């Protein structure tokens, strides 16, 4: 029986961003330099395939520093950590490497600057996400208020008489965040905005690529982890563009009933999903369909972030 035809439209950019590349490389170089085990506080990036690959090489993932032996190296994840974490590591005389994405670190520096100038900070983000926990942990309790929705922006009552500033999580929906910012700037005309938007280039580019193909696709496959904020946003963006979308961690999780009867399907991947998982999904579709493949490119990415000095020295040696 002949397989039905399926046109696969692949979004580009997709998959790994510069911050994820850097974070994974940091763990790999730490394993080369120090040998196993190297401890990592929290998942280095939100992708089980990546985490399990590093575990096989000797990385040990923990949630808190008290799970790390005092003489073992520890890496902080790409999402960033509260100030209390490196302070705790230094008190314990632990050797640590900070793999925080430089674009998250940029937000941390903005927070520090606003705090020094006495501004109350509104953080647009998702409660409980490690990046939000890390950003809120840059200042004392009470100096920052979390805004998750337009309704929150309409209702927030910051401390009376204090000047305001806002920052955002780097992996938010561009459109949803714009709506929240519009409310904040209407309610608080003097609020200080980031000099350059905090949502990272990779998040923005991946959402724009999905917008470019969604209306051409019966459905959209987003490859990524359920705890990956930027991957979840790609699902939301696709649905808003009229193409039903689902998030799948890899090919073995595909829902073939949901995928039945298609003539076209879009594929993208969150910023922490490696390209091998995209290829895996395409191979799985080939087993069920006679496929043609088209890639739609909306941006070119050439961003590279430097490694921490301690590991750069080792790499050059």
Q: How far is CA 273 from CA 82, 226, 230, in A?
A: 25, 11, 11
Tally Cβ neighbours within 10 Å of residue 118. Answer: 9
Q: Residue 317 has what pLDDT?
A: 43
- The whole-chain average pLDDT of the chain stands at 95
- pLDDT tens, residue by residue, 149-193: 999 999 999 998 899 999 999 999 999 999 999 999 999 999 999
Q: Shortest CA distance to 124 belongs to which of 81, 171, 157? A: 171
| pLDDT higher than threshold 70 for residue 307 | yes
pLDDT tens sequence across 187-240: 999 999 998 889 999 999 999 999 999 999 999 999 999 999 999 999 999 999
Model confidence at 314: pLDDT above 70: no
Residue 2's pLDDT is 84
Q: What digits encode the pLDDT tens for the residues 87-125?
A: 999 999 999 999 999 999 999 999 999 999 999 999 999
Structure confidence at residue 316 (pLDDT): 46
Kindly indicate the confidence band of residue 313, based on its pLDDT and cuts at 50, 70 and 90: low
Tell me, what's the pLDDT at 196? 87
Write the pLDDT tens digit of every residue in 6-53. 999 999 999 999 999 999 999 999 999 999 999 999 999 999 999 999
pLDDT-based confidence at residue 312 (cuts at 50, 70, 90): confident
Clarify whether 197 is annotated catalytic.
Answer: no
Catalytic annotation, pick one of 63, 64, 112, 131: 131
């Amino acid at each position: 029986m002949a397989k039905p035809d399926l046109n696969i439209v692949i979004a580009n950019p997709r998959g790994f961003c510069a911050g994820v590349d850097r974070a994974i490389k940091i763990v790999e170089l730490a394993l080369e330099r120090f040998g196993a085990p190297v401890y990592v506080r929290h998942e280095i990036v939100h992708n089980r395939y990546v985490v399990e690959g590093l575990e096989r090489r000797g990385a040990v993932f923990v949630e808190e520093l008290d799970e790390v032996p005092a003489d073992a190296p520890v890496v902080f994840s790409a999402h960033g950590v509260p100030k209390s974490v490196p302070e705790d590591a230094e008190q314990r005389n632990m050797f640590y490497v900070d793999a925080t994405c430089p674009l998250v670190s940029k937000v941390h520096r903005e927070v520090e600057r606003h705090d020094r100038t006495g501004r109350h900070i509104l953080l647009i983000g998702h409660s409980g996400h490690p990046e939000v926990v890390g950003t809120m942990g840059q200042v004392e309790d009470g100096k920052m208020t979390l805004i998750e929705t337009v309704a929150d922006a309409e209702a927030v009552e910051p401390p009376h008489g204090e000047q305001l500033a806002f920052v955002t999580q780097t992996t938010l929906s561009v459109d949803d965040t714009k709506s929240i910012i519009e409310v904040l700037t209407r309610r608080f005309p003097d609020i200080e905005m980031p000099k350059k938007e905090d949502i990272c280039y990779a998040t923005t580019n991946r959402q724009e690529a999905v917008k470019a193909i969604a209306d051409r696709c019966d459905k959209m496959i987003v490859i990524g982890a359920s705890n990956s904020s930027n991957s979840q946003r790609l699902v939301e963006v696709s649905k808003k563009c009229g193409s039903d979308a689902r998030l799948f961690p890899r090919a073995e999780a595909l829902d073939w009933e949901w995928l039945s009867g298609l003539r076209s399907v879009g594929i993208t991947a969150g910023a922490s999903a490696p390209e091998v998982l995209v290829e895996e999904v395409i191979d799985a579709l080939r087993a069920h369909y006679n496929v043609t493949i088209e890639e739609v490119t909306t941006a070119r990415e050439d961003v590279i972030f430097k490694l921490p000095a301690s590991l750069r020295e080792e790499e050059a040696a």
